[in-house]
Chains A and B, each alone.
Chain A
Amino acid sequence: MALNLNPNLSEAGKRYFSAYSPGDDFYELLIGAHRDLSDEQSELLNARLILLLANHIGDIGTLREALAVAREGV
């Protein structure tokens, strides 16, 4: 499974009238999850989230690619 770098977010049963809406829905959830957390707590949340999503993706080849892309820009 090649790493998908195109917009890929959507929610079942939801109809979007603007292309940006699903991404904005997700971003609001993401930032909302960090509300009222200290910087340290936020770091822990991010780490837990990455581990959860990695397990969900499952394919280590995809994860390797994602890690490389993420690292390029740091």
Chain B
Amino acid sequence: MLKTYTYPKYDYRTPPEVGSDKTLKAPVVIVGAGPVGLGMALDLDLQGIPVLLLDEDDTVSIGSRGVCYAKRALEILDRYGVGEVVCAKGVSWNVGRTFFRESEVYNFNLVPEPDHHRPGMVNLQQYYLEEYLVTRASSRPGIDLRWKNKVVSVAQTDKGVTLTVETPDGIYTVEADWLIAADGARSPIRRMLGLEVEGKIFMDRFLIADVVMKADFPAERWFWFDPPFHPNQSVLLHKQTDSVFRIDFQLGWDADPEEEKKPENVIPRIKAMLGDEREFELEWVSVYTFQCRRMGRFNHGRVLFVGDAAHQVSPFGARGANSGLQDADNLGWKLKLVMEGKAPARLLESYSEERVYAADENLMNSTRSTDFITPKSRASRTFRNAILSLAKDHAFGRSLVNSGRLSVPSFLVESSLNTPDEDGFAGRMLPGAPIDDAPVAKDGLPGWLLQSTGNRFQLMVFVDDPATTDTSALSQLNVGGIPVEPLLVSRTAATSSALPCVHDVRGIAAQRYDARPGTSYLIRPDQHVAARWRQIDAEKVRAAVARATCQQ
């Protein structure tokens, strides 16, 4: 049935351990080669940690599934080396329109601010993202990616985790120091360890269809409440790549999933929506329900949970894969420091702390959207429709319309890793914030601030001119074996700089960071602010790095 995409079939190779008594020892095993498991492997690879990545299947996701990749996820994918190909292949969009019955009542623009490298959202079928990540991971010698390798048992001690892995040729045993479960919403690892995930299932069903058609719909997200072609329910339209459109129809709880999936029932719905006789073909159809739930904590001894294995949200807001990639972003550097003995295991508590905080934000926002989109009582529906009727003419009404609050990164302002501000700052780059991008030049070539950050601790120092700034305190900054690399952000084009330097060509970085000469930001390897000051003070930097790595 699929017409625009040919699924790759990845080679299974007999693991050398099968049929021998040899136990495979691995520092880190990741289970599940979906977007999050693959991202996790690439993150650890950037940290120089060898990874064994196991997947029970031998291809990418079937059907388009995750479609929207948000700005922060794209920035993380840039670090993983696939941001460019995802953006080039995907459909970039910023504008969302909301319709109530026959008319548009509201629209939003995800990036009201220019001068960011990545757009608010890129739409791309999940199989493309996975394929690019697989290609990238396969090119990395440190990543041992094994298809058709299914974990059938797991046991952990305080020293590590023992796994039994089943392959078409037999079983073998792996002893891992650390196990990362990226094995999805139904997580067999979670189940085998007897761990709970709590939350609620929503009593509603949605029909999801990928449709190939030549249509001149703009690259925008269109959302209908109670449209004439599908009364009393909601409909969502998204443009994907290769002329594929994603259409999502709310069906109600009483719908029969098997009946609804039949082309003879799907096609009339789409025809009614298009309102004309234009040609289209169905690529993929599914009926889904969803749950909003998470594990109580994401670290359990030597086992760490990422992505849907740890938390699941409703699809409204694209907060699934996007937040999963942020889990990987948060965990990689922490696990490396713990594995190398440069930080105590307590640092992994902060992975759970920070990502539970983010998961709760995602759960809250996606639950609110769900409650608005699918009201569960007459009072709730009356309020919803009242807001939609006020939205057309009144700004306050528009601010209350909730057709999905699209994925944005959490500001981890309550994290114990942050050093509280001592100095006054305006703006939003406060400790715990994901750092803002800005156009800069490096060695005379135009680029972006985020491209000069990530993967290591950095002290970003704003200067007027590197040649006339005393940067002696910045060389050789090292805190318990953790180097802190300086990054000068210069107001003027540097003639010469002994330290890494970017030129804030239009002053936008200084503006976004509320910076003056001497302002310095300690940036974590996952591109979040750990601390900031108005002057360079090596002692304070040391204390802040110690705090950000649980060394105190």
Contacts and interface: CB of A to CB of B under 8 A. Distances in A.
A19 B399 contact: yes
A43 B399 CA distance: 24
A31 B371 contact: yes
B405 A7 contact: no
Contact of A28 (B368, B396, B399): B368
B389 to A, nearest CB: 4
B383 interface: yes
A5 B394 contact: yes
B377 A24 contact: no
A73 B383 CA distance: 13
A39 B375 CA distance: 14
A57 B152 CA distance: 64
Interface in B353-383: 365, 368, 371-372, 377-380, 383
A39 B408 CA distance: 36
A42 B408 CA distance: 34
Contacts of A6: 395-396
Contacts of B372: 27
Interface residues of A, number: 26
A34 B411 contact: no
A33 B67 CA distance: 35
A21 to B, nearest CB: 9
Contacts, number: 61
A34 B396 contact: no
Given A18-B405, A39-B378, A30 B399 contact: no
Q: How large is the interface on B (under 10, 10 to 19, 20 to 34, 35 or more residues)?
A: 20 to 34
A23 B394 contact: no
Contacts of B387: 27
Contact of A5 (B371, B386, B396): B396
Nearest to A37: B379
Contact of A34 (B365, B379, B386, B413): B379
Contact of B368 (A15, A27, A42, A46): A27
Given A6-B396, A24-B405, A42-B377, A30 B428 contact: no
A42 B379 contact: yes
Interface of B is mostly: helix
B383 A31 contact: yes
Contact of B402 (A8, A20, A45): A20
A28 B375 CA distance: 12
B390 interface: yes
Contacts of A24: 365, 368, 400, 402, 405
A7 B371 contact: no
Given A7-B399, A23-B399, A27-B368, A46 B408 contact: no
A50 interface: no
Given A7-B395, A42-B377, A27 B400 contact: yes
A69 interface: yes
A37 B378 CA distance: 10
Interface in B405-431: 405, 408, 411, 413, 428
Interface string A34-52: 1001010011011000000
Contacts of B386: 73
A17 B400 contact: no
B396 A31 contact: no
A18 B379 contact: no
Contacts of A5: 394-396
B395 A27 contact: no
- Please name the 9 residue pairs, one residue from A and one from B, whose CB atoms are nearest each other, closest first: A42-B379, A7-B399, A34-B379, A73-B389, A5-B394, A23-B400, A23-B399, A6-B395, A39-B378
Interface of A: 4-8, 15, 17-20, 23-24, 26-28, 30-31, 34, 37, 39, 42-43, 45-46, 69, 73
6 contacts: A8-B396, A17-B408, A27-B387, A34-B377, A34-B380, A73-B389
